Amino acid sequence: MDQCILGRTTDQLRALPPIGYIYLGEVPYRKALEMQTKLCRKRIEEIHDNTRQSLTESQGRRLSNVLVLLQHPPVYTNGRRNRGKLSSEEITRLHGLGCDYVETNRGGEITFHGPGQLVAYPILYLKDYHLATKCYVRGLEHTVTKTCAHFGIKAKGIDGFPGVWTSPTQKIAAIGTHVQRYVTSHGFALNCTTDMKWFREIVPCGLDGRTAVSMQTLLAQQGNPVDTNIDAVFPVVVKSFSQVFGCDVRPLSEVSPETLDAIHRLL
């Protein structure tokens, strides 16, 4: 991450606005996608209305930067690279497994979301944090690797292969983002106690010969049965996110009650 913060001065790092986090529990994917889409649209309109009116960055802003954490019921999602390419027969097969199937505007290809997987959707205005998109994505990778390290798991990003890996063939977290007018959506999905059977029904992220793995499975193989349930992992993700991006991350109710209300209304 060092190379990504070179463009940020000490004064800039000191003045970064706080990010509010919220854990929503289990939310159906389509409902969460609609919430993200509408919240991002509201943020873009608000930010650029302020610009047109020559207001300062803080004036007129009701909605804050937010880190949304949740789980989804079983669902396969497809990204921009593979949208519209699955046959109707394949989609019917996936539905027959008891899963929804949704195509989205995030990067990447097909993956699975479900119980036991912690999904993070940062909805940030990147200019607030003086970050280019590439460095932001690298920051998400580092957030996951720091979280894994806390639980005794070695993981890293691999150039040319999005996500976070525990070996050249085992992926512990998928990363897929969307950025519109510097406002981010989508994010990462970390397999905590996820049932790996769902991944065996697809080629995750379109990468033949590579598999998904969970924190729980890896630690069991190491003879280290640490608690990796969502309740144990998400506070570590919040702390890691704060450390990597160099800003304060606090409960959303403290940072922006207006944003909290907006999220609940959109859900």
- The single residue of 4, 99, 205, 247 carrying the catalytic annotation is 205
Name the residue among 206, 32, 183 with its Cα closest to residue 104: 32
148 counts as catalytic = no
Name the residue among 188, 66, 166 with its Cα closest to residue 117: 188
From the CB of residue 239, how many other CB atoms can be counted at a distance below 10 Å? 15
Query: In angstroms, rounded to a whole number, what is the distance separating the alpha carbons of residues 113 and 174?
Result: 10
Count the helix, strand and coil residues of the chain and give each as a percent rounded to the nearest 5: 40, 25, 35
User: Which residue(s) pair with 77 in the sheet?
Assistant: 102, 111
Residues that are catalytic: 205
